[in-house]
Structure 1
């Protein structure tokens, strides 16, 4: 009996220790009662949580006890009616299809600055009856709207109009009509066909009648008969403008070139197959990547679908290469370097071609499918796919490692560089490999087995040790490959849908890459700088700084807030947040990366919790009930 009592007291002591070690936080730091059913929660790049309710939108800043904004002017909004503009603090709210032929159906648009909480533009209060297009233009920080405004005489109330607003001052800069009000004759279609191009001295509007250029006061400058342009960009001097027109069947793109005086500079437009996904103006010519689709299988691995790479003369638009490089798949990576163009194919394969069209690699490099990473390292180009990894000479394509590192096809591959030991560490499908940076010799470093059949998707060096993690597992290895700890936090089940915006994803979601902007059909009016630069391996801080510097350069208070956010240390630097089963139900735990132990836990009391974790600021947003959101400081 005495031994039994001792065991009972020992168990109680253990429970007390475990309870006190992990700080519980079931009482939220802030409670937001929104007064209407919550349908969706979106964590923005700027750190504001936007909730879509049955009445509209609500913005939540965890540092404020009340919502930063409430927008109910248009009532309940569908997901597709709310657009979060990349690399900005803006939301564009839309109702109704914008078209010159929308008839009596009313179209409404609003622009919200979710950081300041101000509604910068509202078509209802600004007296617009129809909105055809509504485009945010960055970095100029302008809004360009086209449509019908209920102002002026009866003819003006029926004539298509364009207005430019300054998003910083929230004031109208200028406006003008696309046609002469009251013009007698056959009606012409002046619908806006694409994204306007805002330059230093003019605004160019693509319409069904052609391109119309106006000064920043709305004065006529010139017109050009090129019709149906979808988007435009210019060289850095803004003297040469390129317009992109998608053909009616959507299978080809026509590229036009005009001067800043409206003169067509190419005798004939240049047709490329598919939709343009990347375009860069270089001193040697124009690099174009287009993705063509047979219209059949939607899989990126469909054999009949592939990308094409062309290099055009800036003077004539003619192809400068006698023979375009064969891709046999989708261009997943595209980088411009001093001596040529480096590209990687999603179906496998890396090659490099000079600006003169000559292959720079001795032969195309064969790789596994899905090239997860191509980056520059001191030894050369490191690539990591779902099946293999290697470093190759960027000039010749020769292998730096004697042979590629091969492993089983893995859904995720994690890697990092150990400066102290001068080695690369790669984890794939439960195996961890160490590759000597000097010799390229690969060794089996360690084996890790994660619960729930997970594989490591994160790896980093921590005080000489190697940290690996997945959704539910954390593991720390010593520099000799021996396990220091492995902690597993059981998932609440497949139904517990995890919504996490990590720091790395947050940077990517700003849409900084021009290639991503093209694919997304985003505003292409900023030609400055190149996003087609090969990144440095393992340098995430550089990406954060690039985002912070870009936001700071715009010179607006809201962008300044975003810049400071990306300069701050991410809350995940020393911890990982995991949804798991706690003793009393489902909850979030904050786990210390160095020990694997729980520093804080929050019981959500919900089998299928809806939540968002801001890993940069360290905040958990939890939908407590249909109308209430809790915010916890993690």
Structure 2
């Protein structure tokens, strides 16, 4: 019996591979966040810990503020930074101390700590990209007794962690009635000066802190400048956040519009064009971007840059949430979540013969050689971008599906779309549709991935993978049973898919470039994942900082998912993660997790598994081996 038990234990030990790295954090793990830089940031009862799977020790440990709630950590999109906050920053925060810190999680550096720099109160703390600066406002306990109670702004260089300059928002020791100089929104950093939105108005300072000008425009939340940085637009939330006022200010601080422009709803998209200002606002229950609300509706307006007045006599009717919004050479193209695509000239004239009716939830709108391809949860077609005419004689229709996957087969000049258990092949020239194959995935899963791989057709979902030849004949069907509903719920969000990771970076890149309001609403090309990865890499490389350079190199490399898929399943001895070869459908690697409800993260881009082995321990495995 003893020999049997020992041999059984040995077999189990061989099955469960020894982790490549083992991190004993010494404190209970509460949350795990896998960042776009490939570093796992772990929230414990003591603070934050950063784990880079290629290093044997954590890259950083931040326990200065103690245990942190999830809402107290803010991962800045498209950057290696996490902002840590405790206490509410406010002019009226009283004696409650507010603390902020900025951590570069890739190199494990604390770039800014309000306690170290003697800040007693922090009103705002904003990372500004691509300039790579940090702008802080609040009360700093330095100087004489008046300076210690006067609101102040400081600008730090994130690459060096050094203070660039700082200044007071009010004159220390000023005699008279106290004024509220709390900062109300995100400062706008321009080449020659900085604009701070405050409760007293907009305040402009030079980069050495000299006063330039001040306006009476109060309560601005965010700002955008044109390419020349001579015209600035300020956005003020009014009516308890239900509506927006837009102000226009000149480089010298003068108000350039006679009256500000009131917009119904919350502005979600804004672009400065030679012809005018394109504005999309959301109103109703889904004004914060909740497209699924029945009462959510968007409005599109086109305003004069000189006066703010409507340039269109009649705004296009949306009758729903604007899910897609693109600036074209001849006008504005938009798609509605509830169904429908239309195009309007900059003069407000319809460019399509009539609005195009589509199914609900437009998953894809993109350029293709034949025109605009759209794919919804219910149908697909290609549209002539000049006229709105359908290129395919009839739209491809299928039973409504939350998951529709597609790709372009260049060797056979055809589009492939899989929906409702059928793979459809559409000839790119004629638009003729044929049913290539009928498939059935186990557990009633719908494919969410489709690609051409070595001349064959690959489709996949969470637990299923299938490879078919050109004629739709099955080469293999690999199915790994899910570990049960309770365990499977842990899978949701457990895998950081390479494609979604690049999309996140691309969104962040657009946001970072939003200082000039130009080029953030461009229609992408179909099947352009590789180019998206390159754009992400180039965006990171353009910022002069070592951590951004490391992120750039990460996106230059091939994704670990190009040749494999990582699946959580039931192994002979318990729940584990398997690496399934996309070419053969066979399992190349097994990692037994010995946990019915495993908590883990998989970096599909880099190819690493982070597994919470116990309440205070993280194991990492290299999935590329």
TM-score, shorter chain, exceeding 0.5: yes
* Structure 2 residue 237 is the aligned partner of structure 1 residue 246: yes
Q: Give the superposition deviation at 1:295.
A: 7.7
Instruction: Provide the rounded CA distance (Å) in 2 between the counterparts of 1:303 and 1:65.
Output: 51
| Structure 2 counterpart of 1:16 | none
2:179 match: secondary structure: coil
Deviations 1:374-400 (A, max 9, x none): 000000000000000000101110000
Residues 609 and 27 of structure 1, relative CA distance in 2, 3 Å threshold: same
Residues 259 and 502 of structure 1, relative CA distance in 2, 3 Å threshold: same
* Structure 2 residue 566 is the aligned partner of structure 1 residue 577: yes
| Structure 2 counterpart of 1:554 | 543
Residues 463 and 524 of structure 1, relative CA distance in 2, 3 Å threshold: closer
| Structure 1 counterpart of 2:498 | 503
| Structure 1 counterpart of 2:617 | 628
Instruction: Provide the rounded CA distance (Å) in 2 between the counterparts of 1:226 and 1:590.
Output: 58
Residues 123 and 564 of structure 1, relative CA distance in 2, 3 Å threshold: same
| Structure 2 counterpart of 1:116 | 107
Q: Give the superposition deviation at 1:429.
A: 1.4
| Structure 1 counterpart of 2:589 | 600
Instruction: Provide the rounded CA distance (Å) in 2 between the counterparts of 1:275 and 1:531.
Output: 18
Residues 297 and 242 of structure 1, relative CA distance in 2, 3 Å threshold: closer
Q: Give the superposition deviation at 1:432.
A: 0.6
| Aligned partner (choices 374, 392, 405) of residue 383 of structure 1 | 374
Scaled by the length of structure 1, what TM-score is found?
Answer: 0.94
Deviations 1:439-472 (A, max 9, x none): 0000111011000010100000011110000000
| Aligned partner (choices 194, 218, 222) of residue 203 of structure 1 | 194
Deviations 1:203-240 (A, max 9, x none): 00000000000000000011011000000010011000
Whether the aligned pair in 1 keeps the contact of 2:291 and 2:323 (CA below 8 Å) is no
| Structure 2 counterpart of 1:445 | 436
Instruction: Provide the rounded CA distance (Å) in 2 between the counterparts of 1:554 and 1:617.
Output: 22
| Structure 2 counterpart of 1:431 | 422
Aligned residues: 607
Whether the aligned pair in 2 keeps the contact of 1:202 and 1:214 (CA below 8 Å) is yes
Whether the aligned pair in 2 keeps the contact of 1:84 and 1:91 (CA below 8 Å) is yes
Q: Which runs of 5+ in 2 are unaligned?
A: 1-10
| Structure 1 counterpart of 2:516 | 527
Whether the aligned pair in 2 keeps the contact of 1:340 and 1:352 (CA below 8 Å) is yes
1:112 match: secondary structure: strand
Instruction: Provide the rounded CA distance (Å) in 1 between the counterparts of 2:31 and 2:418.
Output: 35
* Structure 2 residue 311 is the aligned partner of structure 1 residue 320: yes
1:487 match: secondary structure: strand
Residues 297 and 274 of structure 1, relative CA distance in 2, 3 Å threshold: closer
Whether the aligned pair in 2 keeps the contact of 1:197 and 1:525 (CA below 8 Å) is no
Deviations 1:163-202 (A, max 9, x none): 0000011100110000011111111010100000000000
Deviations 1:334-353 (A, max 9, x none): 00010000000000000000
Instruction: Provide the rounded CA distance (Å) in 1 between the counterparts of 2:134 and 2:582.
Output: 44
| Aligned partner (choices 396, 407, 410) of residue 387 of structure 2 | 396
Q: Give the superposition deviation at 1:410.
A: 0.6
| Aligned partner (choices 218, 221, 240) of residue 209 of structure 2 | 218
Instruction: Provide the rounded CA distance (Å) in 2 between the counterparts of 1:396 and 1:281.
Output: 25
Q: Which runs of 5+ in 1 are unaligned?
A: 1-18, 518-522
Instruction: Provide the rounded CA distance (Å) in 2 between the counterparts of 1:198 and 1:591.
Output: 48
Instruction: Provide the rounded CA distance (Å) in 2 between the counterparts of 1:298 and 1:195.
Output: 20
Q: Give the superposition deviation at 1:294.
A: 5.0
User: 1:116-135 counterparts in 2 under 5 A?
Assistant: 116-135=107-126
| Aligned partner (choices 577, 583, 589) of residue 578 of structure 2 | 589
Whether the aligned pair in 2 keeps the contact of 1:143 and 1:165 (CA below 8 Å) is yes
1:420 match: secondary structure: helix
Whether the aligned pair in 1 keeps the contact of 2:128 and 2:135 (CA below 8 Å) is yes
Deviations 1:313-364 (A, max 9, x none): 1111111100000000000000001000000000000000000000000000
| Structure 2 counterpart of 1:145 | 136
Instruction: Provide the rounded CA distance (Å) in 1 between the counterparts of 2:414 and 2:287.
Output: 45
| Structure 1 counterpart of 2:410 | 419
Scaled by the length of structure 2, what TM-score is found?
Answer: 0.95
Instruction: Provide the rounded CA distance (Å) in 1 between the counterparts of 2:580 and 2:268.
Output: 40
Instruction: Provide the rounded CA distance (Å) in 2 between the counterparts of 1:294 and 1:120.
Output: 39
Instruction: Provide the rounded CA distance (Å) in 2 between the counterparts of 1:58 and 1:402.
Output: 57
| Structure 1 counterpart of 2:302 | 311
Whether the aligned pair in 2 keeps the contact of 1:132 and 1:192 (CA below 8 Å) is yes
| Aligned partner (choices 10, 16, 33) of residue 24 of structure 2 | 33
Whether the aligned pair in 1 keeps the contact of 2:514 and 2:520 (CA below 8 Å) is no
| Structure 1 counterpart of 2:47 | 56
2:26 match: secondary structure: coil
Q: Give the superposition deviation at 1:26.
A: 1.6
Whether the aligned pair in 2 keeps the contact of 1:352 and 1:361 (CA below 8 Å) is yes
Residues 220 and 573 of structure 1, relative CA distance in 2, 3 Å threshold: same
Worse-matched range after superposition: 245-254 or 161-170: 245-254
Deviations 1:18-75 (A, max 9, x none): x9xxx95621001011111111111101111100000000001111100000000000
Instruction: Provide the rounded CA distance (Å) in 1 between the counterparts of 2:424 and 2:328.
Output: 30
* Structure 2 residue 167 is the aligned partner of structure 1 residue 170: no
Q: Give the superposition deviation at 1:514.
A: 7.6
Residues 537 and 295 of structure 1, relative CA distance in 2, 3 Å threshold: closer
Q: Give the superposition deviation at 1:99.
A: 0.1
Instruction: Provide the rounded CA distance (Å) in 1 between the counterparts of 2:286 and 2:106.
Output: 41
Q: Give the superposition deviation at 1:531.
A: 2.3
2:183 match: secondary structure: coil
Q: Give the superposition deviation at 1:508.
A: 2.1
